[in-house]
Amino acid sequence: MPGFIIHDKIAGLAGIPEHISNVINSFIDDVDPPPEFEEHNSERKIFVCGHLNVSIRNFLGSERSVKEPMRERGKMEWVQKEDLKWMLATKKEYIKCYYLHLAVDNIYDSRERIKKKRVTVDDCINRWEKEHTVKIPGTEPYLKDVLGFLKNNTENIKQILFPEEKDGK
């Protein structure tokens, strides 16, 4: 996954304040998330996969560790749904950044294929939109904003994610 600085640059390009990007970075990558976000992870009880009254943290692993934080949360549809429902009810200003973070991670995961010119950044954005986006009622406008930003800024995003490509390397 790209580092926080890269996520912050792209979020800034999208007009997202740095403090919101920092919170989403720490939340998604499970690096000392703010108390209300950690409460969402560990205190809020949900029903998932036949398990009643479990928290996201308990379901994904009983203890957070430096070696294995919940970095894969963005790849799990049910976690994204819970995150989005919670943010829609409590922290709407974070939804756009949440979607953007997940999209940037998805593009970055394809870096080797992009470098070898097997796919383009546009291809990654389109595939993420069709196969990996989680929508719940009320989040569609935020997702639409993120997709519009991504599609209108593919070259800038490519330069931020893959700066070595600028010189034709």
Bridge partners, residue 46, by sequence: 54
Name which residue leads in pLDDT, 76 or 40: 40
Judged by DSSP in three states, 136 sits in coil
- Under the banding of pLDDT at 50, 70 and 90, the label for residue 70 is low
**Termini Cα distance of the chain:** 21
* Residues in CB range of 92: below 8 A, 6 or more apart: none
How high is the pLDDT of residue 72? 66
Helix, strand, coil fractions of the chain, as percent rounded to 5: 65, 5, 30
Domain with 101, as residue range(s), is 4-167
Per cent of the chain over pLDDT 90 is 59
**Which pLDDT tens digit goes with each residue over 34-49?**
999 888 888 877 766 6
- How many residues appear in the chain? 169
The structural domain count of the chain equals: 1
**Which pLDDT tens digit goes with each residue over 92-121?**
999 999 999 999 999 999 989 998 899 999
pLDDT at 168 exceeding the cut of 90: no
- Alpha-carbon dihedral 120, 123, 124, 127, rounded to 10 degrees: -170
Name the phi and psi angles at 23, rounded to 5. Answer: -65, -45
134-to-7, 25, 53, 84, 143 alpha-carbon distances in Å: 20, 18, 22, 9, 9
**Which pLDDT tens digit goes with each residue over 80-91?**
998 999 999 999
